Amino acid sequence: MRVRHKPWAKEKIEQHPQYIVANPEQYKGKWHEVFENDHPLHIEVGTGKGQFITEMAKANPGINYIGIEIYDSVIITALDRLIEADLPNLRLLNVDANDLAKYFTKNDVDQVYLNFSDPWPKYRHRKRRLTYKDFLKLYEDIMVDGGEIHFKTDNQGLFENSLMSFSEYGLLLKYISLDLHKSDYEGNIMTEYEEKFSEKGSRIYRCEVKYQN
């Protein structure tokens, strides 16, 4: 993804700690203090401009959401959405997904969303894929037993590779669609990329997998 540098982004982020959590490591194991409730916590790794996570939070007030995005010049768009919506059940983290264990511990997270992640198609880059086994272990270490991953992509190669990765890791396949927008799946909330690709006629792939106790 080509990211246009916005030198003022970091300052804007620092001005809104109530939405983009500053020093999130201090809430490891204590995210209920941020949301002031004990509702389930769902995170989106690579939240981009925040359309998906914002709409999910609007639709499900009984669930807490955290959108994670490393690029400050991207997350500010998600910040604008959150400022406008002012949702009590949504926060953002401007951090690297590789460092999730710094901010979450076992049983903190109930569900992980991976939407239109970078496919990293070259074999030598496979460890960077968010569905690679090392990331699957990272998610497992911060999730409740039986936690789930919900994954969407327009990239057939990444989808096939991810299904293999899930299977080899021992995850239980709960749901699979090879053409989401022509399926009977209800309640789909689209990302910005999903809208763009589907308008061009691209097929959207989706699956839900579950960690087995």
86 flagged as catalytic: no
DSSP lists the bridge partners of residue 149 as 112, 209
Strand partners for 42: 65, 111
- Sheet arrangement for strand 64-68: 90-93, 64-68, 41-45, 109-115, 143-153, 205-210, 172-177
Q: How far is CA 114 from CA 2, 76, 84, 136, 150, in A?
A: 19, 19, 24, 11, 6
Give the 3-state secondary structure of residue 188. Answer: coil
The catalytic residue among 118, 141, 145, 154 is 118
The residues carrying an active-site annotation are 118
